[in-house]
Amino acid sequence: MAAADYGKPDAVKCLLALGADASAKSNNGTAAMHRAAGSAMGSGPKDDKASQDCVKCVKYLLEAQEGGVDDTAALESRADDGATPFLMACSRGAEAAVEFLAARGADAAATLKSGVGAASLAAASGNPGALGAALRHGAPTGARPVGGMTALHIAASHPNTSERSLELVERLLDAKADPNVADSEGLKAVHAAAAVGRAAVVDALVPVTEPDAEVEEWNAFAVQKTVQAKLAAMGAGGGDSAAGAAASPEGAALAAAQVSETCVPHDVPTEVRDAETAAKTKREGDEAFIAGDNAVAVDKYTKSLDADGTNEKVWANRAAAKLKLRDYVGALRDARTAKKIDCEYVKAWFREGTALTELGDYEGAALCFFEGMQVEGQSENPDLKRGFDAAIKKGRDAMGKK
């Protein structure tokens, strides 16, 4: 498994020659081929060495299983959540592995047990190349959980797509994705883009999206009005929107927003220095946190991160301990670092939103909690909803005091 995780084809080949079972699965149902297809090492450009090494790992593992390279059973092996190697590659944004597996006959229409399909997973990876590869090989654009977000919603608003959102959206539109499908909140992709402030994406989607009801002139302003009404309804009904209610041009609110804008994540190392020490000090930090000794917890988590700075859970745990100590700026930075490592780790979104709330940046907090609810499967997350409601209320209260 480790050789597959790290995209080491020579090690995979050697272990297979020594009799390693290519079909053996871990406790979450993933086999080595899932791990190689979804390796972080394969998420770079499709022609770079690391990506091609991951493809070699997949090839060796596929050939080692009964039936050889064309064996459908191995190609479609399912993890506990329903993921196939192809879906794992899409989720990681591993374009080279997506291309390789599709060329070998992997089912591009496969979905996770939740109903999420390859196009959505590839879109959420933020890699237009991986999305394009999935679409070329027949990944449906509309596969989604009942009432959930489509691939177009994800491309338009998912936190991991921010840098290349427009390109992802354009690829989906070229593949005939339907911009008029609404999610369980009644939002279309254009609304989702507006909610997270992606003006260029809104401009691209407005001409191909049917106008909202009772709209006199269909444009970006009309889209924003719909979104504001929806956010206001989510935030205890009626009144101003999240953006409008929380906004304050003066004093503490402005200072809080400036803190938020300048608080950047820590640099994240690419290698683990000492896994054993990292695990030991994390456990000690967890024990201290549970016991309410938050200063000790911060110290232990810091030592764990010195040994392994790649673990998003430890960054988020240290953020939680810093929140208890009222070190809100430190907590904000740690939470953003956890999110940088894994933008789907919901506790990172919650801790970031909590820190922003405590700092008085209610607009930023409300948006953070809302964006956290856009992560797949988190639209009904009670902690994020409570955080969102609290940020809205505090923003309104603060505005009322002006």
Residue 193 lies in a domain: yes
Residues 179 and 199 in one domain: yes
Residues 277 and 202 in one domain: no
Residue 240 lies in a domain: no
Beta bridge partners of 111: 117
pLDDT tens for the chain, 402 residues: list them.
Answer: 778 888 899 999 999 999 998 888 887 788 999 999 988 888 888 999 999 999 999 999 998 986 655 557 888 999 888 899 999 999 889 999 999 999 999 999 999 888 889 999 999 888 999 999 999 999 999 888 766 789 999 899 876 787 899 999 999 999 999 999 988 778 899 998 888 778 899 999 999 999 988 788 899 888 888 887 776 665 544 333 333 333 333 445 555 555 555 566 777 777 888 999 999 999 999 998 888 889 999 999 999 999 999 999 999 999 999 999 988 888 999 999 999 999 889 999 999 999 999 988 888 898 899 888 888 777 778 899 999 989 888 888 876 654
Residue 175 lies in a domain: yes
Beta bridge partners of 193: none
Q: What's the pTM?
A: 0.63
Residue 119 lies in a domain: no
Residue 277 lies in a domain: yes
In this structure, the number of other CB atoms found within 10 A of the CB of residue 150 comes to 27
- Which of 59, 89, 107 represents a domain boundary (last residue)? 107
Residue 127 lies in a domain: no
In this structure, the number of other CB atoms found within 10 A of the CB of residue 267 comes to 8
Residues 88-118 pLDDT 10s: 999 889 999 999 999 999 999 999 888 889 9
Domain range holding 198?
139-234
Angle at alpha carbon of residue 360, lines to 359 and 364, rounded to 5°: 95
Q: Is 301 helix (H, G, I), strand (E, B) or coil?
A: helix
Q: At a CB cut-off of 8 Å and minimum separation 6, what does 378 contact?
A: 346, 372, 384
Residues 266 and 394 in one domain: yes
Number of folded domains that form the chain: 3
Residues 7 and 94 in one domain: yes
Residues 161 and 65 in one domain: no
Q: What is the CATH number of the domain that holds 154?
A: 1.25.40.20
Residues 345 and 379 in one domain: yes
Nearest Cα residue to 336 out of 281, 259, 274, 392: 259
Taking each helix axis as running N to C, give the angle between helix 251-262 and helix 346-359, from 0 to 180 degrees, rounded to the nearest 10.
140
Alpha helices in 7-138 (DSSP H): 9-17, 32-37, 49-64, 72-75, 85-92, 95-103, 118-125, 128-136
Residues 220 and 153 in one domain: yes
Maximum CA extent, the chain: 73
Residues 102 and 144 in one domain: no
Residues 280 and 343 in one domain: yes
Residues 230 and 252 in one domain: no
In this structure, the number of other CB atoms found within 10 A of the CB of residue 24 comes to 9
- Which of 203, 234, 265 represents a domain boundary (last residue)? 234
- Token pair belonging to 123: 């879109």
Residue 122 lies in a domain: no
Residues 220 and 84 in one domain: no
- Which of 195, 210, 234 represents a domain boundary (last residue)? 234
Residue 279 lies in a domain: yes
Cβ–Cβ < 8 Å for 350, 387: yes
Residues 154 and 292 in one domain: no
Alpha helices in 149-241 (DSSP H): 151-157, 165-174, 189-195, 199-205, 220-234
Q: What is the CATH number of the domain that holds 365?
A: 1.25.40.10
